[in-house]
Every structure is written in C-alpha cells, then in structure tokens.
A and B are shown apart, each in its own frame.
Chain A
C-alpha cells in the first residue's frame, strides 16, 4: 500500500525586487495531506490549477521531497529508500514531451527499460506485449516524430508500464486527446487497476473521467484536502435532489393542480416550461425521493401522452463547481 501521511511541500520562489536584489517568497504547494492508495484501486485527485495535484504526484514518485510528513510505498520510505520506491512506481503525464522523437516507439521503450535494469529477454517480451496492448504494434518501428498525438500518448502509457509498476500516477493522461482515443485510454486504465491489480492515482480536468474511473476522490484546494469520498457519496453530500424532466403535448389545469397536490406530499418542487413552437410542455420536478412512478401514474390517469422522460442525477462536476463557488463566496 502507498501511504501519504501528513505531507507538506513548500517552494521558495525568487522575487526580483531591484536589478541586483532578490528575495525569496515561500509558496505552500501542499499542506498536511494524507491519503492511501491500495493495489487495484483508482484514486482521483481533483482541484483547480495550482491546487497541488502535480506536486503531490511528484512527491509520490520521488521526484520531489516533502518538507514534512512521510510517504511510504509497500513499507519503503520515498526519501530514504528512493531507489526501491522508483522501481515500484511510474508516472504518465499528458502531452507529447518526455519521449525521444527521433527514436522509434520500440527504441524508446528499450532505452527506458534498460534504465530500470530489466533483463534483456524479459524486456523484449514486455515491450512486445505493451506495444500490442496500447495498439502500437504496427507503428513500433516508426520514429515517434511521425506519430499522432494519440499515438504518442499511448506510447507514454507503455513507457509508464515498462517497469511493471505496482503504483501508477497519471497526470492529465487524456489532455487534448480526441474523444474515442480518450475513451480507449480510460478503459485501459480501468483494466490496469481491476485486472492487473495496480494502484492508480489520477489527476484530470475532465470530471466525467474521474467519475467514470475512480473508486475514491480527493479534492484539493490551495494544497489542502477539502473533501474525500466516493464520487457518488461526494455528489450526494452536496446535492440531494434528482431532476425529473417530462415532456407532454399539453398540461390541462386540472392535471396541473392534481400534480401540484401530489408533489406537495413529497416536498417536491415543480417548474413548467413551454417550448418555443408551443407544441410541447416540459415539466421539471426536483425531488429528494423517488416519485417517477407516482407522477407517471397520475399523468396516465389523466390520459396524457408522455413524449419524453429524463431522470437527471447530479454529477460530480456540479458538486465540485458548487463547492468552488461556495468557497469563493
């Protein structure tokens, strides 16, 4: 298990006051952060720009040293036993950097594999397997500079898996990718956790991605942990209401009154919208309880045809936006 315990990181940034005078300003990037990553679980780290997500990943992968607190990976301290930890973790970042563009995909993997000291036969086997898994078999011997953005990102994933890490850190892995490629990558990340038992920590600006993949979500704000829960519970803790949208051709007064009476018993709120062409009416009902069947039964009794029905549950994105607005407010 990877355990982050009360970790803080302070950067000293230079402030040039005069031509020859420089002072230093302390910037707290991460403050007293604690969390755990179990093998087979996907953890999401969310927050605005500058929240401390990348700093956290770099501390977990030994690229940065915390000022206080500790990070242990399967019992090894990330500062004292950094070489051991390096062989257990790996990081994949979004974008097209971090690869040698003149080298082919296979040559890149071979080079990085050698840096991990992987035996030649094992490395060859692993490279073939990874290239196949990320769908780069046919482009394995093509220079990376001829790859598309999506192909470079897939090669990044293969590079991140070259040492068969137990814990994988994904920093905005689908940044700028087309939707189908991003979807393919998401399903691969899920496979890595659920079938290959890897602990994964993911940061992303795409909240749908976090909602789809993560077992638990940590929300950071200015380096501090402000919320931690499963995506479902996190959303439910902020929004308790579901929205029921029903489209009907017309809404007679008698039906509307009976509907209002029914909704009062459930403490539900109702809003009615007429379409621009006056051909349909949208009934929006906000409720904390499940009343879809009762509403539909009432409409049926009044012989109203339901044109469309949508049950909208609040999304994690709404919850985070709501929280952010609350904090700014």
Chain B
C-alpha cells in the first residue's frame, strides 16, 4: 500500500511538472468548461421552458443551472482522463514508456497513478468554481451533510477507474486516437450531461449504457438534486460498482495483453 501511495505521489509530481507547467494551462482548464457550461445554459434559453416544454418533464426549469453544473463537472472529470490517456502517445515517442516498462512497477498501480494525478491537476480549478457556484444556485436538495462528500467521492473514484481503463487502451494501440473522437461529443450527449438520458429515444438510451459517466452522473444528481437517501441510491450504486469492477478487470486484462503483445512484436517503440 505504501508503495502505491509513493507511486501515486511520484506520478503526481511528474505530471505536474511535465504537463501542467504553465499558469495558462490551468487558466484554460477553467475557462474551457466554464464556456461549455455557459453555452449549454444559453442554448436552452431561446426555447420555451414552461410546463409544456418536453425538457421540463425531466428537469424543472429552476433546476437547470444545477443540472448543467453537475453534468459539466462530472463530464470534466471523465473527459480530462481521455486527454491524459491520449498523452500516452507522447510517452511512446519520447521513449519514456519503454523505460517505465523496464522497471518492475505494478502495472495497475502505474495506470491508476497516472489517472489519479491527471485528474487532480485537471479538475481542481473548475471543481473549486463549481463549489462556489453551488452556494448561490437554487435547487440543491440533499439528504444530509454526507451527500456532497459522498457524491464527489463516487465521482472521483469512478473517474480514476475510467482513466485507468483508457490508459490501458491507449497503451495497447498507437492508433487509439479515434477514441479521442468517440469519447468527446458522444460522451457529452449520451451520458446525460446536457439532456437527461430519460429524454432520449430508446436507441440513444442503449448507447448511454456504454458510458460509465451515465451511471455516475445519475447517482450524483440523485444525491444533490433529489435528496436521495443511501437506501434509495443503493440499486444504482450497486450497478455502478459492478460497472467499475468490470472496468478494473478489463483494464488488468488489457494491460497484460498489451505488455505481452509488445514483448512479442517490439511495438513499444513503433509510433
């Protein structure tokens, strides 16, 4: 366990120095999701949000800001890890990936360490912004003091496990760049960041099931917008746990396969 903690800290330090070297990086990490959030909010404005509006069947108009804020925060957690995994390509090109695989470091610890450190670096500014906004928006309904920390705990752990899975995928293929495209707009649309999945047609609901963000976001909104008790979220929480366990197992399997493949083909240095 101490080894994992030390590795996480080492990754955090490396990631901070290597990828987040300028204040401009942090500035963009705040501005970009804020713009996304504002764009979405004002996209709804021209449309009727009265009682007859289709969207108000799922989101009360006075909860719209909170709905979008939670959606964008959760999306940022997940999306920042797609970017982090994409950086694996740079590790290949610079030869550092080969040096990492030369060491006996625990492979799962490595990908979760990368995921953890990227997440912390990428989201803390927008996270702070959201926390401040949450104090002034209407519509927050929680069961108790535990709801907020528990919601963020679920979000953080789910995102780290998701990030680990992506790191494993990007490790396996030098052509995994298409994931970047697949996971951008589709994840934003189908995970219910801007429109609740319940409002989707049946085929889109099916697609939503493929994104772990859907399950996480559903629980977070239950906790902070519907004052759900632990018993009430338990069925959804159980489903999320199963999804995360499946992701961990797939990640472990993919890493093992990826390393064996690289040992056979030597493709670790081909980029």
The residues of A with any CB-CB pair to B shorter than 8 Å are: 11-12, 55, 58, 61-65, 82-84, 86-87, 90-91, 93, 97-103, 107, 110-112, 114-117, 120, 159, 163
Q: Inter-chain contact count A-B, CB under 8 Å?
A: 83
Which listed residue (B13, B260, B266) contacts A11, Cβ 8 A?
Answer: B266
* B73 CB–A CB distance under 8 Å: no
Question: Looking at A58, A111, A120, which has the most chain B CB atoms within 10 Å of its CB?
Answer: A111
Given known contacts A11-B265, A63-B268, A120-B6, A111 and B14 CB-to-CB distance under 8 angstroms = yes
CA distance A114 to B3 in the complex (A): 8
Q: How far is the CB of B225 from chain A (nearest CB, A)?
A: 41
Q: How far is the CB of B246 from chain A (nearest CB, A)?
A: 26
Given known contacts A63-B98, A111-B14, A55 and B7 CB-to-CB distance under 8 angstroms = no
Which listed residue (B10, B103, B110) contacts A86, Cβ 8 A?
Answer: B103
The residues of B with any CB-CB pair to A shorter than 8 Å are: 3, 6-7, 9-10, 13-14, 17-18, 21, 94-96, 98-105, 110, 260, 262-266, 268
Asked whether A116 lies within 8 Å of B104 as measured between CB atoms, the reply is: yes
Asked whether B13 lies within 8 Å of A111 as measured between CB atoms, the reply is: yes
Asked whether B104 lies within 8 Å of A83 as measured between CB atoms, the reply is: yes
Asked whether A86 lies within 8 Å of B266 as measured between CB atoms, the reply is: no
Asked whether A102 lies within 8 Å of B17 as measured between CB atoms, the reply is: yes
CA distance A63 to B101 in the complex (A): 7
CA distance A91 to B98 in the complex (A): 10
Asked whether B105 lies within 8 Å of A98 as measured between CB atoms, the reply is: no
Asked whether B104 lies within 8 Å of A98 as measured between CB atoms, the reply is: no
| Nearest B residue to A103, CB-CB | B17
Asked whether A114 lies within 8 Å of B7 as measured between CB atoms, the reply is: yes
| Nearest A residue to B7, CB-CB | A114
Asked whether A117 lies within 8 Å of B101 as measured between CB atoms, the reply is: no
> What are 30 A-to-B residue pairs whose CB atoms are below 8 Å?
A11-B266, A55-B266, A58-B266, A61-B102, A64-B263, A64-B264, A65-B264, A83-B104, A86-B103, A86-B104, A87-B104, A91-B102, A98-B94, A98-B95, A99-B94, A99-B96, A102-B21, A103-B17, A103-B18, A110-B13, A111-B13, A112-B99, A112-B103, A114-B7, A115-B7, A115-B10, A116-B103, A117-B3, A120-B6, A163-B103
Asked whether B6 lies within 8 Å of A111 as measured between CB atoms, the reply is: no
Q: How far is the CB of A85 from chain B (nearest CB, A)?
A: 9
- Point out the residues of chain B lying under 8 angstroms from A58, CB to CB: 266
Q: How far is the CB of A79 from chain B (nearest CB, A)?
A: 8
